[in-house]
Amino acid sequence: MRLPDPRTRRPARAALLGLLLCTLLLPAGSPAAPDTDAAAAAFLARLEGAWQTRDLEGWLALWDFATAEQRAFEEETVRAAFSSDETVLNFLRRPTPPEGARQFGADVQVFAATEPRAQVSYWRLSAERRAGGWAIVGRQEAGQIDGLVHLSLGPRAFRARGVSLRLEDFELRMEDGTLYTTPEALGPTAFVFVGRARVRFSPPPPSEREQLRQFSGGLALDREVGWAFIRLHPADFHRALETGNLVPETDPSPRRAEAERVWQGRSQRSFTIDAPLPRSPWWLMPTPGDAIVDFPWGRKRVLTFALSAGETEDVNLFDRDRRLQICTYPSGGRAPRYSDDDRRVVDVLHNDITTRFDPERFEVLATHTMRVKVLSPTSTLRLRLHDDFRVASVTTEEGGNLLFFRVRDQGNLVVSLGPLAKREEPFTLTTRYSGRHDPAPVDQELVQVRSPNVDFEDAFVDRPPLVYSNRTAWYPRPPNEDFATARVRIDSPADWLGVTGGELVSLRAEGGRTRAEYRLEQPGKFVTAIVGRLADMGLRQEGEQAVRGFAGTRMRGETLDQMLAAQEMLAFYAQRFGPSPYPALGLVVAEGETPGGHSPPGLVYLQLRPPALRGHSLPEDPSNFSDLPGFFLAHETAHQWWGEGMAPANYRERWLSEAWAQYSAALWLRDRLGEGAFRRMMDRMARWATRYDSSGPIHLGQRLGHLVQDGRVFRAVVYDKGAWVLHMLRGVVGDEAFFAGARAFLERFRYGKAGTEDFRLALEAASGRDLRPYFERWIYGMGLPVFLWSSRTERIDGGFRTTIEIRPQDLPGPVPLQLAAATATTTEARTIVVEAEGGSWTIETRQEPRRVSLNDDRGLLARVERVARVPGTPQR
């Protein structure tokens, strides 16, 4: 699965969305085919000529108007464009109507600038053949981008002495200096301050303060700075700035050189359009509520504070150059509980992909058709598609060619929906595209340990298959994952095979190629294609569940064993979590330097080390349990329920996928290898969890370890501490309620997205308990229980009585705790329920205990510390 990677978050993303519309790729005009209508070509040349020479009469003469009103409107529109400083008309795709055509459409982009402003309009012109030749008969407005401005520092400046710019949780206190701004014609939207100022930023959420501490050493920011660059909407100027204390600077020249230097460095970094428009660069006006403040950090770095009114987590602090997201959270004290689906504009219902892979050259040639339903009217649809791919066309069965735009280096494809924008019934969008794309190794939803520093010279390892997954957008899709059924046809070279999730419908070899077709009948959140030297190992059916194996070279025997193991795991999970979300599962087993796996919908990819490497040890890692046979496969198959059949609602909710996969694997191993193996595994997870618990709460999700660029932090907290939290919750509510709650939760959110609160409510409904305090402490907060305890043993009739005093700390509510007293021959154990205030309990034994202990059954992830005397108890 793919979450908004904090590193790729951009400032004022909402504002940037607006500008995407006008940043376009102009496809080169296709060369005229021999049978093209020559009269139409001449007509188009006249059309261009009339625009270029601003010949209003010439333009109107191209028309065959139906009414006088139509003529008047056209004249008014074009006259306005022709009176601008500069206007340019381009065909988005030059029409080439065939000889004999009666009509054609022409999509054009019209740029018009009157300094310091500009706008871009998209028109669809309809032309029809008339007795005297071609004529325009209609012009449809297909979209417009205005609010483009040219920014500069004006001649005026203000003296700023004791003036504050106040934004959410942020203050720029200008102690003494000069504030330069844009010319009056634009209104106050961009500023450079030079002088002495203090920057203060104090995020209220404790986890954000901790992130700030990891970055800066302090829980809040308070620094002196020598300059700042500010962008906001002019309407926000008086609200955010204490303008009453600004007085005109009598002589702005002393600091102007420094202000110009800041302007040069910063002004083009935000709200700037990167597009082949005349007079570029152009800036966009921030939408009201959006703001950006850049300020220096140390000698070389610059930090940016940004408010992005269009985002759920609208308060941001980041280092743009190093792609570090330091803080991000919702303003106004709102809890960051939301679903990525809340803001989606379309629902994807079905993906149909026909693709030809030539993996030796990383070549992809594809046609992708998706069926979508508009959820809220939108004129454009923003899709993700990797920049390696060139788009040939976007069409729709319902409306022909659609305009599309791409933004340089943004990995997206923006489609103008035109008349489909308000369509209530679902419609299809077909994108034809191609390119050379080398998918980097998968890392999302992947349990893979870091590569060891082993010399592989003498250990031949098969090249692992190419995995086109959710990491890069290898087919056009909305910014967030969307559950949809799929049909995928993969064409690959003869000794290669492409595999995707779901059922293999057909497989045949023809013309030196392998052609495979798959169908995912249940909705999956993305489509993965694994292309490698793979062989179909056949189907194993057990009850409702079918597993089809695909083996890499030299992995055939191994694959049959893994298919059997997968069947057993799937049955084990189905018993606990309900029916498998994807009853037709593919299992790809291949060789790689590091063991690992990946689990897209209806598909499990397992990477095993070749036998020659299995003796080499791997680095310690929170997710490395490769010494426990079956661990990786058990983790990955569990993802079919946790992460695929139900998907986390946003990047913070990753534990619902990873912690559950990890804990499910532990449960499976307990079933297979026994209690001892389970406890050793929980002990290893406990060591990682306690080591990194203070880095941030589980609910920080993918941002854990981001600032220190250490993925182990994420895995230690989200996978291992997460698994422990599930284990503890299970202890709190009991087995029956725990699994009933889990099943109800999965059933309720099957093929949908869910968050922590949804899971809490499901467990509460099943157990009849209020579990909020546990979730507050263990998921949204940090800190694990501590038990200080002491014991004394006294002789009683017939044996010994041991009294254990316990004083817990950081306990969110009552928890079960095992007490044990071991004598030379037996161990007496009892499980008590400890409440926040603690207490004393006794164990009676026949012989004198040699060892008294707590939590031997690994019921709790807790620090257990024996003390001479528990604080708060009377001296004895």
Residues that bind Zn ion (CB under 5 A): 447, 658, 661
Collapse the DSSP code of 304 into the 3-class scheme (helix H, G, I; strand E, B; otherwise coil) and give the result. Answer: strand
Contacts by 40-47 with C-beta closer than 8 Å and gap 24+?
40/95, 40/96, 40/97, 40/101, 40/104, 40/127, 40/134, 41/96, 43/127, 43/133, 43/134, 44/91, 44/94, 44/95, 44/106, 47/89, 47/106, 47/125, 47/136
Complex with Zn ion: residue 97 or 630, whichever CB lies closer: 630
Per DSSP, helices labelled H in 37-131 are 38-52, 56-61, 68-82
Give the shortest CB-597-to-Zn ion separation in angstroms: 8
CB distance 270 to 230 below 8 Å: no
User: In this structure, which amino acid lies at residue 542?
Assistant: E
> Minimum CB separation from Zn ion for residue 291, in Å?
38
State in angstroms the smallest separation of the CB of 634 from Zn ion.
Answer: 11
Distance CA 317, CA 326 (A): 5
In this complex, which beta carbon is closest to Zn ion, that of residue 355 or of residue 623? 623
In the bound complex, what is the minimum distance in angstroms from residue 642's beta carbon to Zn ion?
8
Shortest spacing between CB 443 and Zn ion, in angstroms: 11
Q: Which CB, 210 or 658, lies closer to Zn ion?
A: 658
Contacts of 693 (CB under 8 A, 6+ apart): 717, 721, 782, 783, 784
CB of 447 to Zn ion, least distance (A): 5
Smaller CB distance to Zn ion: residue 664 or 853? 664
Sign of torsion over alpha carbons 457, 460, 464, 465: positive
- Of the pair 383, 589, the CB lying nearest Zn ion is at 589
| Residue number with CB closer to Zn ion (429 or 447) | 447
CB of 107 to Zn ion, least distance (A): 45
Q: Are 447 and 597 in contact (CB under 8 A)?
A: yes
CB 80 to Zn ion: min, Å: 58
Q: How far is the CB of 445 from Zn ion (least distance, A)?
A: 5
CA dihedral 20, 23, 29, 30 (to 10 degrees): -40
Q: For Zn ion, which is the closer residue by CB, 171 or 658?
A: 658
**8 A C-beta contact, residue 504 and residue 548:** yes
The phi and psi torsions of 380 (rounded to 5 degrees) equal -130, 155
Quick one: 318 or 660, whose CB is closer to Zn ion?
Answer: 660
Distance CA 146, CA 737 (A): 57
The three-class DSSP label of residue 150 is coil
Concatenated DSSP letters for 789-832?
A: EEEEEEEETTEEEEEEEEEEES--S-EEEEEEEE-SS-EEEEEE
- Nearest approach in angstroms of CB 665 to Zn ion is 9
Structure token pair of residue 479 = 């910014």
- C-alpha 518: how far from chain center: 27
Query: Residue 413 CB, nearest distance to Zn ion (Å)?
Result: 29
Of 118 and 638, the one with the shorter C-beta distance to Zn ion is 638
- Name the closest residue to Zn ion (Cβ): 661
- Taking the least distance from each CB to Zn ion, the nearer of 109 and 562 is 562
**Cross-strand bridge partners of residue 786:** 809, 863
Secondary structure of residue 324 in the 3-state scheme: strand
Q: How far is the CB of 640 from Zn ion (least distance, A)?
A: 11
Taking the complex as a whole, the smallest distance from the CB of residue 652 to Zn ion amounts, in Å, to 16
In the bound state with Zn ion, the residue whose beta carbon lies nearer, of 742 and 819, is: 742
Our CB check for Zn ion shows the closer of 369 and 448 to be 448
Angle among Cα 800, 805, 806 to the nearest 5 degrees reads: 140
Rounded to whole angstroms, how far apart are CA atoms 105 and 94?
Answer: 10
Rounded Cα–Cα distance for residues 39 and 62 (Å): 13
Token pair of 254 as six digits:
């002393």
51: helix, coil or strand?
helix
List of residues 6+ apart from 218 with CB closer than 8 A: 212
The single-letter DSSP state of residue 741 is H
CA within 13 Å, CB half, 410:
24
Give the whole-angstrom CA distance, residue 791 versus residue 806: 9
Instruction: Return the number of the residue (92 or 723) whose C-beta is nearest Zn ion.
Output: 723
